[in-house]
Amino acid sequence: MNQRQRAILRQLLANKGEPVLVQDLAVMAGCSEKTIRNDFHAIQGRLSENTSIKLVRKPGVGVFLEGNEIEEGKLFEELNSFPHINKADEGSRAVDIAFQLIMSSEPLTLEQLAAKHFVNKAVIKKDLDGIEKWLREMNLMLAARQKVGIQVTGLEKDRRKALANLPALIHSSTLNLLKEKFSSYEMDIVQTELKDLQQKYSLSFTDETMEHLLIHVLFLIKRTKLKYPITISPHEHERIKEKMEYQWAKHFLRKLEIIFIVHFPEEEIIYLALHFLGSKQRYQSDKVEHPEGPELVPFLIKKMSEATSLSFELDQALIDGLSVHITPVLNRLNYGLAVSNPMLNDIKKMYPYIFDVVMTVIDEANNVFSLQIPEEEGAYLTLHFQTSIERLQKRDGRMKEVVIVCHMGIGMSQLLRTKLERKFHSIRVIDCIGKLELLSFIKKYPVDFVISTIDLKGLKDTPYIVVSPLLDVVEEQQLGHFIEQLSRTESEVGKKSVMSAFLEPDLIFLDCNVEHPYELIEFMAEALVKRGYVGKDYPHSALSRERMSATTIGSGIAIPHGSPKMVHSSVIAAAALKKPLKWGTELVSLVFMIAIRPDEKDKTKDLFRELSELTERPEVVQAAVHEMDQKIFLEHLLKKSR
């Protein structure tokens, strides 16, 4: 059970069999009645484990416990003994505390927060440390006054941005937050009206945009009801009022006024219109408002082609996709709208090479066009270019031929085939067959590999991978890595790895003890300067790149690097940390300082592939990090990179 469910059970035990209304429990827990009713299932499950106590629910009367007094007494003592709280509970508590502080107009004391969450003040103080750092990213401050309490200070627009981004505090789902803070009735109404708006104005918002608009509208309603108005400058008001998005927002909010019995002032219409301006649509023909907009897409494609030696300019689907994508990007930048990307860390881990090239090109674009495109947008652009690479491979005939072995019949096998062909453009599915047909089939039609829904232990000479018929997200990632590994030519497999070629023994630093990522980056970069591998400005370049976007790639690995133009001779330095270091949003234990010359871009690509593979072997990372002998440290890493 989580903290809220324990609190509900504690309250029911304290009432000693007297009914409690669901409404009262919802007020006590600070959530909806639906959430309380859902919690009853978890509570009953806990009671059934080792007690005879029953949770009784009587419509119109309330909820109460029925059972043995001795068992109830023991359970009450157990709940009051502050059992160990798991990470999920800690995250839920942090989000709830942040929500309370942002929503409250009055200071809250440590005692109040500790009492609500049934923990001591030391635990709340620890939560507040993390919350305070996160609030600063949202341009909000956490002010504490002795004998008064703690209070969030800042502009209303920043409060709303923080509320909409609460899931990012613990990398949780936006929908989970909405279900906690709003009733299903409120959510259904707003979703229905958004769909009607699309139909009326022939709009085509993406699923991500619909979720984004849903959370912003729900908080807009809540904050308006609580009389916390948004402030819009006269200049911005005049700019937005002439746009069609203003008409959409006005029509939409006027309908919600009737349903929610609330009046939305003009500023709220402008505020929502701004979010419409920054929204992604599946199809978009509007002109980009930023004066440099028409030149940005060709610039990105040209620079990406030069950096990767790939002909992105030949992919019309990429050009069309970027043209649609770039409009809301520039609108968001133009109007100062925040962007979030829940897939950011996954994209950096799955496609480290393309992401890094994209961020380098974005840095150039920011300077040329006077923009500030953030890493979240860089991750979205990475997906566009990665998908283009798969299309170009398909066009060039470099496709893997596969056969599907499915044990669940033709319907399920065709569903799996459709998913595979939609997700992976670099494979061609020859057929869907049963396990008994496999050996005779591959004798007649040799394939590159087999995708199966059951284990094929007896299969020799032909690679295979096992997935579920529904092909979930994790399996998609695993299949992507599997295909990438098979794509290596025999010459690539046999040649020396980039890591073993460039990782210098005298640039391996073990058991490092540093307080901040920048301290380590500067130390490692200066070591390269002293040995003549890079120019004197390389440390500054590496720090600038890190400020753009944390170079973490998952599994406790970071790969800081500066501009390749400053590299005299290609080299890699490595550092193992004495204790994990907070690096962006991740904890890092192993750091590679990369310096590869620009005329060796193929080696850069190979190195990123090796590093990506290393992230799939956390046991190798941990073994290397805890090693004190340089030679054995190298052996651990090169086992993976060969």
What percentage of the chain exceeds 90 in pLDDT?
33
- For 369-393, how does the pLDDT look when each residue is reduced to its tens digit (9 = 90+)? 888 888 889 998 998 998 888 778 7
The encoded tokens of residue 361 equal 């090109």
Contacts of 356 (CB under 8 A, 6+ apart): 551, 559, 561, 608
- C-alpha to C-alpha distance for 615 and 206, rounded to whole angstroms: 31
Q: Would you identify the CATH topology of the domain 399-486?
A: Rossmann fold (3.40.50)
pLDDT at 190: 94
- Averaged pLDDT, 227-246: 89
- For 23-36, how does the pLDDT look when each residue is reduced to its tens digit (9 = 90+)? 888 877 777 888 88
- Averaged pLDDT, 582-590: 88
Q: Pairing mode, if any, of strands 449-452 and 400-405?
A: parallel
Task: Spell out the domain ranges in the chain.
Answer: 3-79, 87-177, 183-277, 293-394, 399-486, 495-641
Residue 523 or residue 481, greater confidence: 523
Contacts of 514 (CB under 8 A, 6+ apart): 520, 523, 577, 581
For tokens 């941990």, name the residue.
Answer: 622
H helices present in 66-120, as ranges: 69-79, 87-103, 110-117
Residue 89 or residue 12, greater confidence: 12
- Asked whether the domain spanning 293-394 has the same topology as the one spanning 3-79, the reply is no
Q: Is residue 237 classed exposed, middle or buried when 0-12, 13-18 and 19+ CB atoms within 10 A define those classes?
A: middle
pLDDT over 70 at 604, yes or no? yes
pLDDT over 80 at 520, yes or no? yes
Q: How many CB atoms lie within 10 A of CB 146?
A: 5
Give helix then strand counts, H and E, for the chain: 29, 13
Cα pseudo-dihedral 559, 560, 563, 564, rounded to 10: -30
pLDDT at 166: 84
- For 284-309, how does the pLDDT look when each residue is reduced to its tens digit (9 = 90+)? 544 445 566 678 999 999 999 998 88
Mean pLDDT, the chain, as a whole number?
84
CATH number of 183-277: 1.10.1790
634 — pLDDT class (breaks 50, 70, 90): confident
85 — pLDDT class (breaks 50, 70, 90): very low
- What's the CATH number of domain 293-394, 1.10.1790.10, 3.50.50.60, 3.10.20.340, 3.40.190.10? 1.10.1790.10
pLDDT at 282: 61
409 — pLDDT class (breaks 50, 70, 90): low
Alpha carbons within 13 angstroms on the beta-carbon side of residue 462 total 24
Q: How many CB atoms lie within 10 A of CB 201?
A: 14
- C-alpha to C-alpha distance for 78 and 10, rounded to whole angstroms: 10
Strand partners, 583: 586
Contact 389, 400 (CB under 8 A): no
- For 276-286, how does the pLDDT look when each residue is reduced to its tens digit (9 = 90+)? 988 877 655 44
Written out in words, the top-level CATH class of the domain with range 87-177 is: mainly alpha
pLDDT at 90: 59
Written out in words, the top-level CATH class of the domain with range 495-641 is: alpha beta
- For 170-216, how does the pLDDT look when each residue is reduced to its tens digit (9 = 90+)? 655 556 667 778 888 899 999 999 999 999 988 888 777 888 899 99
640 — pLDDT class (breaks 50, 70, 90): very low
pLDDT at 606: 86
* Dihedral of alpha carbons 200, 201, 207, 212, sign: negative
Strands ordered across the beta sheet of 503-512: 503-512, 571-583, 586-595, 557-558, 552-554
Contact 510, 627 (CB under 8 A): yes
pLDDT at 283: 58
pLDDT at 83: 40
The encoded tokens of residue 446 equal 């040799």
Q: Would you identify the CATH topology of the domain 3-79?
A: Arc Repressor Mutant, subunit A (1.10.10)
Of 84-88, 554-558, 595-599, which range is least confident? 84-88
